[in-house]
A and B are shown apart, each in its own frame.
Chain A
Amino acid sequence: MSDLASAPGIAKGTDSTLAHIVYVLRSNPVTLLAFAMFAVLIITAILGPALVPYDPLESNAARALQPPSFDHWFGTDNLGRDVLSRVVVATRLDLAISVAAVALSFVIGSVLGSIAGYWGGWIDAVLNRLFDTIMAFPLFVLAMGIVAALGNTVENIVYATAVINIPFYARLVRAEVNIRRDAGFAQAAKLAGNSDIRVLALHIFPNALPPMMVQVSLNLGWAILNAAGLSFIGLGVRPPTAEWGIMVAEGANFIVSGEWWLAIFPGLALMFAVFTFNLLGDGLRDIVDPRQRS
């Protein structure tokens, strides 16, 4: 029975998941770098306030607008606050906004997209036109409008960012679910006694995860930019809260007069975060895709 000639056995359970993650990280140095950068972001977000040398909100008129120095690595702003401390502390807020927004749009988009893709018909047509309508707006203007209408709070930034991202998830999930709707394994799941909803949720949807992971990580970058952009134009987060978007906005006034460090450092932090998320996508996809294991 040549078909049964067995290859080396495969370790079970968590062992192999861990081994697989190690394999993915090892095989692609870019992914390893992305995960290292992501770890820096996470650690900064969690421990940031405990690490910084100064209180990010404490103003000191005597030390206003000092250039980067040994005492103040990133310099001080127009109120004498330490820019480094503010950049570090802002990480938590910016990450929280983007992660919350992306999580929200992921969940809502997945549910709506799955329904549209699996059942099709009029419900699919209605949902698709709804997504078309959302996407027809310039998305940033739509987000501005939502925040302006709902009120100027951090939660509303999250909701606005979530709403403008829902169509991207919904469409992706719809396409992925649709091609698997009549797949053999979906029919086999029905034969095993699964109802339509169970087949959809437990068998078809998880197979859409690998491409979703790429979307999630790219989206985290966009969401950070979006939140910062809203703050930049004065919506959402309000001063004196430390947030990258506001800091860039406030610092922009001083660039002309030569105090570049006010805007550059939060801007670089923003860039670092977006870059990290963009790099992360492919690695995440490889990790959640069992077919990459061999």
Chain B
Amino acid sequence: MSLLSIQGLKVAFRTRRGSVDAVRGVSLDVDKGEILGIVGESGSGKSVTSYALMRLLDRNGSITGGALSYGGIDLKTVRESTMRDLRGREISMIFQNPRAALNPIRKVGHQIEDVLRRHSRATRSTAKAEAIKALGAVKIRDAEARYNAYPFELSGGMCQRIVIALALACDPKLLIADEPTTGLDITTQKAVMDLIAELISERGMSAMVITHDLGLAAQYCDRIVVMKDGEVVEEGSAERLFTAPQHAYTRKLVDATPRAGASIRSLLPAEQRTPEPVLPVSDTPLLEVRDLVKNFHGKSGPVHAVKGISFSVMKGQSVGLVGESGCGKSTTSSIVVRLADPTSGEILFDGEDLAKTPAKNFARDPRRAKIQMVFQDATDSFNPRHTARHSIEEPLARLGGLSRRDRKERVGELADLVGLPRPLLDRFPHQLSGGQKARVGIARAIALDPEFLVLDEPTAALDVSIQAIVLNLLVDLRAKLGISYLFVSHDLHVVRLLCDYVIVMRDGEIVEEGPAAKVMLAPSHPYTQELLAAAPVPPALQEPSSSAAE
């Protein structure tokens, strides 16, 4: 008999525009000792399913049908007081954003004690020792010192370990992990997932891993359920899903997952694959960065964010800047795009040093129009009070010198160019989906026909199928407009698809650089090898050519 059984679950939310069905008849089982992966894109109802079974739905949401049974207990009708006992002791959850899941003003050790004492796993006198033991169990080094730490003093990966310690403190039988590694670096992601997998098998627990990353699910789960629009479209073993997907949607997801050996067009569904464009690259350098240094004033002395790096970008070339958080890649890109000033160093653009003009005066520099940027967070990078049209028009109005009518026409052309339906131009950012916002962001960045574009993880927040479309759009635009890219990312597979040349950064220094194919296939620096090895690769797709990292 399975540990958890969900039969025909239906969840609806009341909204301004009437009732919305988020989950429409989902059935799935989790057996004892099994790790079940639930994969789907945003809006597929995968998180809502887990919240429904924990009975943690928002106030406007309710279970409208189906049956939820956990070890013989009917979770749909059980009293709230019983449910409180079940949560944490029987079923436990790891949340998406570890920082938000922890109480910011309470020591992490105390937070673990709270859980232990709530479920009578410890008394006042033994709580501290038990909490330290729980911290040790998730492989936190120096657990006794960490006991007294506040969440803000810990890194993202460390916070997630604390959340795992909290979730596992009372030895639950079922663990629900909702996007447990979103926002973590790729090497941290691997460490956290390995830890979860190890703890689960050690304790003989069952788990539900909810993720948008098919590759990740394939690597760690015994069985995968693919969800779309509140329904289960396919279910099967990881290998089967990758090698012989039955449903068109699974096929699309498998295709869109960036992986070794794939080409940029192969991410798209088969019927949308057009021939790859020819990308002319010249030998004339457009941008040359020389000995770039950036120091910040930290509380404990100066922080060396960028330690004298040099690189160049040729006309028409796409250069990838790869590294994990804190490596200085974002600092570098904001200096190159002239939003921040370097401590020292030169930024030669067409032979002229841009660093001579301070960032605060650069807004009115004639070269402003030539260097533009696409931001990482599409939501944050749009003024919530401006429509998409207004946002795209802004650079044209300030720097383009066009009449009102010409601007309107140009905005329309740009919308066509990035594939944004024109009626959407009059919407506000919150009325657009992630993919649509990404298109608006790209349209805004290319509005002034820039020669150089910094792309700061433009697809990091997007679903894989949308990411595939946006990456292809960027390649097409590069071919059509001859723009040079500096593509900042943490994902080597994405960089390989888009870039001719790759620079790997760590701790403010360049550790390896070279043509994309060479760095990917024969990385010379151990750090690059580590990055490549950390990316989840479904076993069925591993190709001989990508095993050089081993």
Instruction: Give residues in A with beta carbon < 8 Å to B.
Output: 1-4, 6-7, 9-10, 12, 27, 183-185, 187-196, 203, 206-207, 290-291, 293-294
Residue of A with least CB distance to B252: A2
Chain B residues whose C-beta falls within 8 Å of the C-beta of A194 in the assembled complex:
363, 394, 398
The smallest beta-carbon distance between A227 and chain B, in angstroms, is: 33
A190 with B363: CB separation less than 8 A: yes
Q: How far in angstroms is the closest Cβ of chain B from A16?
A: 9
Residue of B nearest to A294 (CB): B16
Binary contact readout B374-391 vs A (1 if CB under 8 angstroms, 0 otherwise):
011100111111000001
Q: Contacts A3-B466, A3-B469, A291-B430: A9 and B423 contacting too (C-beta < 8 A)? A: yes
Q: Give residues 411-464 of B contacting A (CB, 8 Å).
A: 419-421, 423-424, 426-428, 430-431, 433-436, 444-445
Say yes or no: A189-B394 contact (C-beta < 8 A), given A10-B426, A290-B428.
yes
Interface on B for A, CB 8 Å cutoff? 16-17, 334, 337, 339, 360, 363-364, 368-369, 372-373, 375-377, 380-385, 391, 394-395, 398-399, 419-421, 423-424, 426-428, 430-431, 433-436, 444-445, 465-466, 469
By Cβ-Cβ distance, the 7 closest A-B pairs, closest first, are A184-B381, A3-B435, A193-B398, A192-B395, A184-B380, A193-B399, A185-B383
Indicate whether A207 sits within 8 Å of B385 (C-beta atoms), given known contacts A184-B377, A184-B380, A191-B373: yes
Chain A min CB distance to B353 (Å): 20
Q: Tell me the bound Cα distance from A290 to B337 in angstroms.
A: 30
Q: Chain A nearest CB: distance from B246 CB in Å?
A: 19
Which residue of A6, A183, A189, A195 is within 8 Å of B380 (Cβ)?
A: A183
The answer on a CB contact under 8 Å between A191 and B339 is yes
Q: Which residues of A contact B391 (CB under 8 A)?
A: 188
Closest Cβ–Cβ distance, residue A179 to chain B (whole Å):
11
Minimum C-beta distance from B496 to chain A (A) = 24
Residue of A nearest to B365 (CB): A193
- How many contacts A-B (CB < 8 Å)? 100
Contact at A184–B423, with CB atoms within 8 Å? no
Task: State A120–B377 Cα separation when bound (angstroms).
Answer: 25
Tell whether A293 pairs with B428 under 8 Å between CB atoms, given A193-B368, A195-B363, A207-B383. yes
B423 and A6 contacting across the interface, CB-CB below 8 Å: yes
CA distance A191 to B465 in the complex (A): 29
Q: A192 is contacted by which of B398, B424, B430 (Cβ under 8 Å)?
A: B398
Contacts of A190 in B (CB 8 A): 339, 363
Q: Which residues does chain B contribute within 8 Å of A188, judged by CB atoms?
A: 373, 375, 381-382, 391, 394, 444
Interface SS of A by simple majority: helix
For B381, what are the chain A residues with a Cβ–Cβ distance below 8 Å?
183-185, 187-188
With a cutoff of 8 Å between Cβ atoms, the chain B residues found around residue A291 in the complex are 384, 428, 430
Q: Chain A contacts of B380 at CB under 8 A?
A: 183-185
A196 to B360, CA, bound (A): 7
**Contact assessment for A4 and B435 in the assembled complex, using a CB-CB cutoff below 8 Å:** yes
> What are 30 pairs between A and B in contact, CB < 8 Å?
A1-B419, A3-B466, A4-B435, A4-B436, A6-B423, A6-B424, A7-B431, A10-B431, A184-B375, A184-B377, A185-B381, A185-B382, A188-B375, A188-B394, A188-B444, A189-B383, A190-B363, A191-B339, A191-B368, A192-B399, A193-B364, A193-B368, A194-B363, A207-B383, A207-B385, A290-B385, A290-B428, A291-B384, A291-B428, A294-B16
Contact at B375–A3, with CB atoms within 8 Å? no
Given contacts A1-B435, A207-B384, 4 further A-B contacts (CB under 8 A): A183-B380, A187-B373, A193-B364, A290-B430
CB distance from B193 to the nearest CB of A (A): 28
B146 to chain A, nearest CB (A): 30
What separation, in Å, do the CA atoms of A188 and B377 have in the docked complex?
A: 12
List A contacts of B469 (CB < 8 A).
1, 3
User: Are B375 and A203 in contact (CB-based, < 8 A)?
Assistant: no
Least CB distance, A233 to chain B, in whole angstroms? 43
A3-B426 in contact given A188-B381, A192-B394, A196-B360 (Cβ < 8 Å): no
Residues of A within 8 A of B368 (CB): 191, 193
Shortest distance from the beta carbon of B401 to any chain A beta carbon, whole Å: 11
Residues in B whose Cβ lies below 8 Å from that of A7: 431
